[in-house]
Structure 1
Amino acid sequence: MPEDSPTLIGHLLDVQGAVFLADIIEEEEGVTPKVTIGDEDIVVGRLGSYVCVEQGSLRVIAMVTRMTEREKIPATLFGATEAAEDLVPIAVRTMQLVPVGYLDQEGIFERGITQYPTTGAEVHVVASPNLRVMFSRFQEKAYEVGSVSSNTAMRVCLDPSPLFGRHCAILGQTGAGKSWTVASLLQKAVSLTPRAHLILLDLHG
């Protein structure tokens, strides 16, 4: 990766309302790109990981949902004599990104997108210290519901008041763990607030 910007991993190629497409800067052919920040080695393009799309003062946080690789014949230099059959194809990796929020001027993570970047915007990896800031919003509530998929040592907490004060849905296929999730949420709520009043209606037995 570029020495002057060690977190830079690519640039946006396509921007749509719900999904971005970005290329990945290749250092060495056939080698999975990695970025080292401090003592942390980050594999570029890992599903479930987060990136920051930067353009001017705009910083959009997005999740990697797909990574693809295709072969591309490199363009010959002007006046080069290589025949097309003599050119060795190179691997071109691209990432599909789903924007989830943005960082404001103080670096605080906010959900949703108010402005969209344009093609050519820089894509940077998000290191663990930055992820902790993103997911620290409700740590003081101590209502732990899981961990970050790309970093299982990092716990995720929610604010139980709006969670139980509004409608919510837990969706999934048969056997995905919907009942287990409901039971886990209720058990954590009871352990956190023993005097809470919870009513569970199981209409299907």
Structure 2
Amino acid sequence: MPPLDTNTAILLMSALNLCVGIATFLFVENNNKIGTHWSFTLVFFGIAGILIFFRDFLPPWFANVFANMLVGVSVALTHRGTWLMVGKPPPDLTYLMAVLILGAVFYQFTYSTPNIAFRISAVSLFRVPFFVSAILALRHSPSFRQLRGTKALICLLLIGVCWYLLRGFITFSSEEMAVLFRTGPMQSGARQRF
């Protein structure tokens, strides 16, 4: 079996996210807002990953800036779906502003002052407050706190918080580490476009 490089794994996982998101959307009842949010989370994350996979063939504004804004939208949808699930009003203006700021950061560090380390740190650390907020909302919700599925979701979000904090700080520490995290160790010598 040929070795699986990081870029191919990104493409496969992104395609899987996209397919599961579309399938979930097709099977969710029309009035199920939470299911719709979670399915679109997967769809946007899948599309973003596919665009990032093709970054050597697409313009940087599309493969870097727009793709990572889609990642931001998927994170916001995860948080929004969680808040709807526990009966809290979602902070929609916060989502909009956060995604626009993420886009501005990616634009700045793709074009004006290219810096892979800062871009990867930004998209990693962007997720942390949303995931922590979702964890707290689930933990403090009396109706969901005791469900086994809620505990699993909290564990997954907590793993995400730890991973993205680690990834954000490690990639910010050096450009070499950022390239490793961007392309994986098997592709670290690949051509850097932006």
| TM > 0.5 | no
Question: Quick check: which one's helix share is greater?
Answer: 2
Question: Quick check: which one's strand share is greater?
Answer: 1
Max Rg structure: 1
